[in-house]
Amino acid sequence: MQITVDIPDELAAQAQARGLTPELYVRSLIDAAVHTGPLPLPPAKPKKDLEAFFRAMAANSDKIPQLPDEAFTRESFYQDHD
């Protein structure tokens, strides 16, 4: 998460417009977010779109070389680190 220089100024202005301190305003935002529940999920993609996606992912998979199990050990991923 990045906080730009403008965000604290905007937050302070919004808090002041509501007659609150920045701390109380942030607390009210968090409280409202907690009580509204999770955001709704986007609509599910049609099955044909998923099938097309997986077909595209599998295209030319016969040309991918088979790797030995040792290629997927923790040590193989972090061999350049101590």
Give the separation between CA 77 and CA 70, rounded to whole angstroms. 10
* The pair of three-digit structure tokens given for residue 81, joined into one six-digit string: 């680190």
The answer to whether residues 22 and 12 touch, using CB atoms and an 8 Å cutoff, is yes
**In the chain, where the domains are located:** 1-61
pTM of the complete model? 0.40
* pLDDT single digits (tens) 14-72: 999 999 998 899 999 999 888 887 778 888 889 999 999 999 999 988 898 899 998 89
Q: Band of the pLDDT at 3, cuts 50, 70, 90?
A: low
Contacts of 70 (CB under 8 A, 6+ apart): 76
More confident residue, 18 or 76: 18
The answer to whether residues 25 and 11 touch, using CB atoms and an 8 Å cutoff, is yes
pLDDT of residue 1 exceeding 60, the answer is no
